[in-house]
Amino acid sequence: MLLKLFLMFLMVIGAGGCATNRKSVKNLEAEIQELNAQVTELEAQVSAKDKMLGDMEDRLQDSTASASAKYDGSKTAVKHNIASGITPKNIQKALKGAGLYDGPIDGRIGKRTKKAIKEFQKANGLTDDGIVGKKTWLILSGYISQK
């Protein structure tokens, strides 16, 4: 009789364990579905960020390409920039027109011209590196005919 009671007790515990396991499996399946939904959402966010990053890289590349022609006083820069009007004399004329350069228009980028370029760049929210690139020239060239 004791053995019968013990076996019945084991059956009850075993049956209860199976129900608990079924419940756990259902909970796990629900968690998996929720995690899959989160993964899908994160993948969509990553895709959107990748597209945004690609667009930014394209804009940066375009900006870099257009700003790559700079006048730094070298002979190579002179050859590349004469067509765009960025010459030492035009830089000096524009700086004079902007009221930042009072030296001679001699076509030499010396200390006074460099200082005037940097002042112009600072005053216009540009990087004050003393190099007349596309961004600087775009603004500075508007001052050529003023004086």
Domain boundaries, the chain: 13-67, 75-146
Q: What are phi and psi of 94, to 5 degrees?
A: -65, -40
Amino acid 68: pLDDT: 42
Q: CB under 8 Å to 127, separation ≥6 — which residues?
A: 121
d(CA 25, CA 3): 33
Task: Supply 112's token pair.
Answer: 């006074």
Which CATH homologous superfamily contains domain 75-146?
A: PGBD-like superfamily/PGBD (1.10.101.10)
Q: CB under 8 Å to 85, separation ≥6 — which residues?
A: 137, 141
- One digit per residue, the tens of pLDDT, for the chain of length 147 reads 666 766 666 666 665 555 556 778 888 888 989 988 998 898 888 888 877 777 777 666 655 444 444 555 555 454 445 456 788 999 999 999 999 999 999 999 999 999 999 999 999 999 999 999 889 999 998 998 654
Listing DSSP states for 11-31 in one string gives HHHHHHHHHHHHHHHHHHHHH
Q: Please, are residues 81 and 75 in contact by the beta-carbon 8 Å criterion?
A: no
| Segment 75-91, tens digit of pLDDT | 545 444 545 678 899 99
Task: Supply 93's token pair.
Answer: 């004329």
d(CA 67, CA 105): 25
d(CA 119, CA 129): 10
Q: Please, are residues 135 and 67 in contact by the beta-carbon 8 Å criterion?
A: yes
